[in-house]
């Protein structure tokens, strides 16, 4: 005689329910016919409450008996030697149930609630939910080892545990051991804290149980989402740089990483100064600048003063310089380490974050990268690995704080041609890592074809991750006008 599999146990007269037990089960919404088919029968117990005997079946054989009350105080007993295995484990061996989802409950009554509501592949854990989970696979979780081979093919697995603290411990423990990827959970029971409560207290108990199980959702896994689960992000406007000719090639958007390279002395820092001044003047943004080769005072201040006064610093009046300094103090903050202090990336990001919080800085500049301290680089990492990790952290920082990060990065030393001319580098030529080209949102190359004979400068936008928003790659030829600290068109000597 087959037994233990839902709906397959032959009825035996001596296991029929008496009226008292039958009514007690029905008051909970449980089907007497279902529990009889599963082999349940009235039994005596140590109290005057109504007790019922639940056979524990494995491979069609009774291997133990569990007894519990169905009225009065909840109490349990079991035969000595009863193995700690899933109740109704044989349902996992029934080929006729192969297409059904597996349901794991916290008690036998919940298993019956699932079975009679149309989910016959239902089991319950022995001993209920644990108070704590130490993380090991000790005796408490032995039932999973017993059913290991049967569990391999089960998916999805609905964890229909109690909606309480212990149930949460059980849910997390089962998901960790079975694999979160195939586990579903019930977000809320229509009534009560479990399937039995829902079955017995809802006007249409079986329909409510079916609804709870049918609407179970896969456990969230960080980093795996459908499009509807993504939060709506505010659209970041892309700002014009107001550098002539770059209108369709480069626009500045908060959250982006911009990498600027070029040979030494070709105007990288001048481009950054012009860019940040334009954004400060036209868009009222604040820039936080970490200038490690060019002293802030007097060198960088001289460039910024010239932009504001539109004349060389030495020709500006005292009032013009005072007005310029007031504007600089309003729109710029600077990072400066103490003598001998290691200015690591972590050191810089901490101060950039403070500049954003305190001064609403929207642009953070590192000029140049090769001066960033490597004191915190793990000894086992190559320089390429370290740079790649640093850029990953910088991009995360830019998105988290909604700032634009601009980095000036020198190319690797390039061999001059036979005429002594330094060739134009690309993003892939930046020293130490290909990640410079891979990770940036926009990549700019500053190059003067004839550094000794002409002041013409090629500004090449070599990479744009989003052509629609921040521009398309292209080259613009301009000239640096030191008296106004601006790049202008070659024929334009006035203010742009």
Q: What is the full per-residue pLDDT of the chain (496 aa) written as tens digits?
A: 333 333 333 444 444 789 999 999 999 999 999 999 999 999 999 999 999 999 999 999 999 999 999 999 999 999 999 999 999 999 999 999 999 999 999 999 999 999 999 999 999 999 899 999 988 988 899 999 999 999 999 999 999 999 999 999 999 999 999 999 999 999 999 999 999 999 999 999 999 999 999 999 999 888 888 888 888 877 888 999 999 999 999 999 999 999 999 999 899 999 999 999 999 999 999 999 999 988 999 999 999 999 999 999 999 999 999 999 999 999 999 999 888 899 999 999 999 999 999 999 999 999 999 999 999 999 999 999 999 999 999 999 999 999 999 999 999 887 777 666 888 999 999 999 999 999 999 999 999 998 887 889 999 999 999 999 999 999 999 999 999 999 999 875 444 3
pLDDT given for residue 235 in this prediction: 81
- Report angle CA 463, 283, 477 to the nearest 5 degrees: 40
CA–CA dist 7, 452 (Å, integer):
93
Is 361 within 8 Å of 403 (Cβ atoms)?
yes
Is 475 within 8 Å of 465 (Cβ atoms)?
no
Run of H or E residues at 457: strand 456-464
CA–CA dist 139, 108 (Å, integer):
20
Nearest one of 194, 189, 154 to 174, comparing CA atoms: 154
pLDDT given for residue 93 in this prediction: 97
Report the SS3 class of residue 253: strand
Rg (C-alpha) for the chain, rounded Å, is: 36
Nearest one of 101, 92, 127, 124 to 194, comparing CA atoms: 124
Residue spans of the domains in the chain: they are 13-218, 238-412+420-488
Take residue 433 and report the two structure tokens written for it: 């890592």
Contacts of 187 (CB under 8 A, 6+ apart): 215, 216, 217
Strand spans (E) along 348-455: 361-367, 404-408, 442-447
**What strand order describes the sheet that includes 41-43?**
41-43, 51-58, 61-69, 76-78
pLDDT given for residue 8 in this prediction: 37
Q: String of b and e for 318-344 (b: at least 16 CB within 10 Å)?
A: eebeeebeebbeebbbbbeeeeeeebb
Give the architecture (CATH level 2) of 13-218. Answer: 3-Layer(aba) Sandwich (3.40)
Q: Running DSSP on this structure, what letter comes out for residue 423?
A: P
CA–CA dist 239, 110 (Å, integer):
60
Domains 13-218 and 238-412+420-488 share a fold: no
Express the helix, strand and coil content of the chain in percent, nearest 5 each: 35, 20, 45
What is the CATH class of 238-412+420-488?
A: alpha beta
CA–CA dist 468, 74 (Å, integer):
66
CA–CA dist 14, 6 (Å, integer):
19
pLDDT given for residue 15 in this prediction: 46
What are the backbone dihedrals phi and psi of residue 166, each rounded to the nearest 5 degrees, phi first? -65, -35
CA–CA dist 14, 448 (Å, integer):
100
CA–CA dist 322, 305 (Å, integer):
9
């Amino acid at each position: 005689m087959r037994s233990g599999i839902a709906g397959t146990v032959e009825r035996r007269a001596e296991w029929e329910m008496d009226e008292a037990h039958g009514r007690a089960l029905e008051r909970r919404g449980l089907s007497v016919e279902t529990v009889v088919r599963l082999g349940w029968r009235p039994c005596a117990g140590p109290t005057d409450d109504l007790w019922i005997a639940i056979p524990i079946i494995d491979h069609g054989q009774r291997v133990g008996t569990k007894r519990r009350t169905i009225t009065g105080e909840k109490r349990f007993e079991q035969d000595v030697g009863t193995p700690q295995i899933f109740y109704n484990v044989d349902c996992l061996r029934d080929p006729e149930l192969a297409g059904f989802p597996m349901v794991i409950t916290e008690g036998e009554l919940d298993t019956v609630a699932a079975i009679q509501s149309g989910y016959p592949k239902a089991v319950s854990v022995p001993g209920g939910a644990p108070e704590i989970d130490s993380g090991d696979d000790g005796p408490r979780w032995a039932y999973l080892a017993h059913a290991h081979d049967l569990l391999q093919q089960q998916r999805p697995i609905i964890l229909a545990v109690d909606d309480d603290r212990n149930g949460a411990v059980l849910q997390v423990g089962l998901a960790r051991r079975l694999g979160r990827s195939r586990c579903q959970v019930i977000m809320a029971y229509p009534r009560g804290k479990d399937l039995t409560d829902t079955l017995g207290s809802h006007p249409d108990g079986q329909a409510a149980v079916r609804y709870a199980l049918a609407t179970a959702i896969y456990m969230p896994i960080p980093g795996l989402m459908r499009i509807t689960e993504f939060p709506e992000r505010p659209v970041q406007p892309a700002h014009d740089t107001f550098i002539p000719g770059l209108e369709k090639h480069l626009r500045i958007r908060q959250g982006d990483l911009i990498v600027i390279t070029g040979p030494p002395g070709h105007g990288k820092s001048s481009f950054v100064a012009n860019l940040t001044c334009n954004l400060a003047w036209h868009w009222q943004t604040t820039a936080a600048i970490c200038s490690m080769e060019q002293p802030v005072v007097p060198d960088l201040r001289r460039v910024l003063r010239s932009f504001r006064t539109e004349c060389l610093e030495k020709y500006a009046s005292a009032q013009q310089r005072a007005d310029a300094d007031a504007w600089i103090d309003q729109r710029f903050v600077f990072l400066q380490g103490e003598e001998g202090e290691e200015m690591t990336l972590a050191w810089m990001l901490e101060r950039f974050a403070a500049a954003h919080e305190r001064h609403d800085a929207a642009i953070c500049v590192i000029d140049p990268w090769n001066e960033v301290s490597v004191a915190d680089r793990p000894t086992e990492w190559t320089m390429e690995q370290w740079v790649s990790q640093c850029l990953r952290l910088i991009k995360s920082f830019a998105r988290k704080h909604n700032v634009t990060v601009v980095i000036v990065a020198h190319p690797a030393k390039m061999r001059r041609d036979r005429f002594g001319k330094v060739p134009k580098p690309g993003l892939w030529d930046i020293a130490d890592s290909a990640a410079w080209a891979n990770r940036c949102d926009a990549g700019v190359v500053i190059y003067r074809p004839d550094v000794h004979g002409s002041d013409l400068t090629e500004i090449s936008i070599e990479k744009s991750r989003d052509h629609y928003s921040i521009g398309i790659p292209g080259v613009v030829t301009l000239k640096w006008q030191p008296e106004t600290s601006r790049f202008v068109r070659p024929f334009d000597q006035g203010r742009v």
